[in-house]
Structure 1
Amino acid sequence: MSDTSSSRPLPLAGVRVLDVSQVMAGPYACMLLADLGADVIKIEPPQGGDQTRGAMGFKLKGTDSMGFLNMNRNKRSIALDLKSDSGREVLYKLVAQADILVENYRPGVMKRLRTDYETLSAINPRLVYVSISGFGQTGPWAGRPGFDLMAQAMSGIMSVTGHPDGPPAKAGVPVADIGCALFATYGMLSAYIGAKATGRGQYVDASLFDSALAFSIWDISEYWGTGREPEQLGTANRMSAPYQAMKAADGHFVMGATNQKLWQTLCATLERPDLLEDARFATVSLRLANRHALIESLERSFAQQGCEHWIDRLLAVGIPAGPILSYPEAFESEHGRHRRMRIEIDHPVEGKVPNIGFAVKMGGTPQQVRRAPPLLGQHTAEVLAELGIDASAQRELAAAGAFGS
Structure 2
Amino acid sequence: MRVLEGVRVLDLSIAMSGPFAAMKLGDLGADVIKVEPLTGEWQRHAAAGGATGNEVNASFLSLNRNKRSLSVDLKSEAGLAALHRLVATADVFLQNYRPGVAQRLGVDYETLRAIRPDLVYVSISGYGETGPYARRPGQDLLLQAMSGALFSAGRPGQAPTPAPYFLVDAFAAYSAFEGALAALFHRQRTGEGQLVQVNMLDAIIAAQMQEISVRTVGGVPQRRGEAIHAHSYIRAPYGVYPTSDGYLALTFAEPARLAELLDEPGLASLDAERDGFERREEISTLVEARLRTRDTAHWLDVLGAAGVWCGPVYDYDELLADPQVRHNESFVSYEHPTEGRVTTPGFPFRLAASPPSVTRPAPLNGQHTREVLADAGLDPESIGRLEADGVVHSAAPASRPPAASPAL
In the superposition, the TM-score normalised over structure 1's length comes to: 0.90
Tell me the equivalent position of 2:285: 296
- Aligned to 1:196, which of 164, 188, 191? 188
Looking at structure 1, the residues matched to 339 and 377 of structure 2 have their Cα atoms a distance apart, in angstroms, of 32
For the residues of structure 1 that align with 2:51 and 2:315, how far apart are their CA atoms?
Answer: 23
Could you tell which deviates more after superposition, 248-257 or 116-125? 248-257
- Tell me whether 1:253 sits opposite 2:248 in the alignment: yes
**Which of 378, 384, 390 is the matching residue for 1:395?**
384
1:325/1:392 CA distance change after superposition, 3 Å: same
Q: Which sits farther off after the overlay, 304-313 or 103-112? A: 304-313
Q: Which moved more, 1:29-38 or 1:154-163?
A: 154-163
2:162 corresponds in structure 1 to 170
Corresponding residue of 2:142: 150
- What whole-Å deviation, never above 9, does each CA across 1:86-134 have from its counterpart, x for those lacking one? 1111111111111111101101101111110001011111111011111
Q: Who is 2:110 aligned against?
A: 118
RMSD: 2.1
Query: How far 1:322 moved relative to its partner?
Result: 0.4
Cross-structure match for 1:379:
368
Residue 305 of structure 1 corresponds to: 294
* Residues 248-397 of structure 1: pairs in structure 2 closer than 5 A: 248-257=243-252, 262-272=254-264, 274-277=266-269, 281-397=270-386
The CA deviation string for residues 204-240 of structure 1, in whole angstroms up to 9 with x for no partner, is: 1111111111122333223224545424566522222
CA contact (8 A) 1:241 1:284 kept: no
Cα deviations by residue, 1:261-305 (Å, 9 ceiling, x for unpaired): x4443333334455232xxx3242422111111112223332332
* Cα distance change, pair 10–117 in 1 and its aligned pair in 2 (3 A): same
Consecutive unaligned residues of structure 2, counting only runs of 5 or more, are: 395-408
Change (3 A) 1:299 1:111: same
Please list the CA deviations of residues 70-90 of structure 1 after superposition, one character each: whole Å capped at 9, or x if unmatched.
Answer: 110110000011111111111
CA contact (8 A) 2:241 2:247 kept: yes
What are the residue-to-residue correspondences of 1:192-271 with 2, within 5 Å? 192-225=184-217, 227-232=219-224, 235-237=229-231, 238-257=233-252, 262-271=254-263
| Percent of residue pairs identical | 40
2:46 pairs with 1:55: yes
Distance 1:205 1:285, change over 3 A: farther
8 Å Cα contact 1:87/1:401 also seen in 2: no
**Within 2, Cα distance between the matches of 1:159 and 1:303?**
26
SS of structure 1 residue aligned to 2:333: strand
* Inter-CA distance 161–121: structure 2 relative to 1 (3 Å threshold): farther
Q: Taking structure 1 as reference, are residues 88 and 285 closer, same or farther at Cα in structure 2, changes over 3 Å only?
A: farther
Cα distance in structure 1, aligned partners of 2:42 and 2:224: 34
Q: Distance in 2 between matches of 1:61 and 1:298?
A: 46
Q: What is the match of residue 401 of structure 2?
A: none
Instruction: Pick one of 9, 28, 33 that aligns with 1:17.
Output: 9
Q: CA deviation at 1:325?
A: 0.7
CA distance in 2 between partners of 1:169 and 1:186 (Å): 29
- CA distance in 2 between partners of 1:29 and 1:251 (Å): 36
The 10-residue stretch of structure 1 (227-236 or 313-322) with the greater mean CA deviation from structure 2: 227-236
Output the CA distance in 2 between the equivalents of 1:355 and 1:404. Answer: 28
The alpha carbon displacement at 1:402 in A equals 2.9
| Separation (CA, whole Å) in 2 of partners of 1:89 and 1:358 | 36
Q: Distance in 1 between matches of 2:341 and 2:272?
A: 54
Is residue 56–residue 339 contact of structure 2 (8 Å, CA) maintained in 1? Answer: no
Task: Assess, with a 3 A threshold, how the Cα gap between structure 1 residues 390 and 161 changes in structure 2: closer, same or farther.
Answer: farther
Rate the CA distance shift 1:103–1:232 in 2: closer, same or farther, 3 A: farther
Alpha-carbon distance in structure 1 between the residues aligned to 2:85 and 2:42: 25
Change (3 A) 1:363 1:314: farther
2:176 equivalent to 1:181: no
Query: How far apart are the structure 2 equivalents of 1:225 and 1:358?
Result: 35
Q: Which residue identity is paired with 1:123?
A: I
1:335 is paired with a residue whose SS is: helix
On the 8 A contact 2:239/2:251 being kept in 1, the answer is yes
**Residues 244 and 256 of structure 1 are in contact (CA less than 8 Å); yes or no, is this contact kept in structure 2?**
yes
* Cα displacement string for residues 344-389 of structure 1 (whole angstroms, at most 9, x for unaligned residues): 2101111111211222222222211101100000000011112221
Q: Who is 2:24 aligned against?
A: 32
**Distance across 2 between alignment mates of 1:241 and 1:265:** 13
TM-score, normalised relative to structure 2: 0.90
**Bigger Cα displacement from structure 2, 51-60 vs 15-24:** 51-60
Residue aligning to 1:5: none
- SS of equivalent residue, structure 2 residue 247: strand
Indicate conservation of the 8 Å contact 2:236/2:252, yes or no: yes
SS, match of residue 70 in structure 1: helix
One-letter amino acid of the counterpart of residue 402, structure 1: V
- Any conservation in 1 of the 2:257–2:268 contact (CA below 8 Å)? no
Instruction: Output the CA distance in 1 between the equivalents of 2:53 and 2:196.
Output: 38
* Unmatched tracts of structure 1, length 5 or more: 1-8
Give 1:244 shift.
1.4
Greater mean alpha carbon deviation, residues 14-23 or residues 216-225: 216-225
